[in-house]
Amino acid sequence: MFFVNPAILMVGYGVAGLAAIVVFTPGGTGVYETIMIIFLSMAGTPPDLAIAGIILTRAILLTGTIIFGYIFYQHALIKYGKPDDSQI
């Protein structure tokens, strides 16, 4: 088992989140991962473990977003109906 200092992890997450706002890629893809890998490496995490953890984190976040987005989209269609062509 590997321990990462939560303070370093939170600072890294905050910096990566702020950097993701500035760049023009969707969701800050690439910049977020790079910054998180750098912070995890600074915390003493082996680089291969840091890369695997960040890829797994991004996959879980995207999967959750897609699943919940689909559920709420279906709920909105049931509640409000499908828009007419004149409303688009």
* Residue 43 included in any domain: yes
* Residue 86 included in any domain: no
- Tokens 């939170």 — which residue? 10
* Residue 59 included in any domain: yes
Q: How many domains does the chain have?
A: 1
Burial 23-60 (b: 16+ CB within 10 A, else e): eeeeebeebbbebbbebbeebebeeeebbebbeeeeee
To the question of pTM greater than 0.75 for the whole model, the response is no
Residues spanned by the domain of 75: 6-80
Kindly report, residue by residue over 28-86, the tens digit of the pLDDT. 788 888 998 998 888 888 888 889 989 998 899 889 999 999 999 999 999 998 877 77
- CA dist., res. 84 & res. 18, Å (int): 39
Closest CA to 52 of 38, 37, 62, 64: 37
- Show the tokens assigned to 62: 């995207």
* Residue 33 included in any domain: yes
* Residue 36 included in any domain: yes
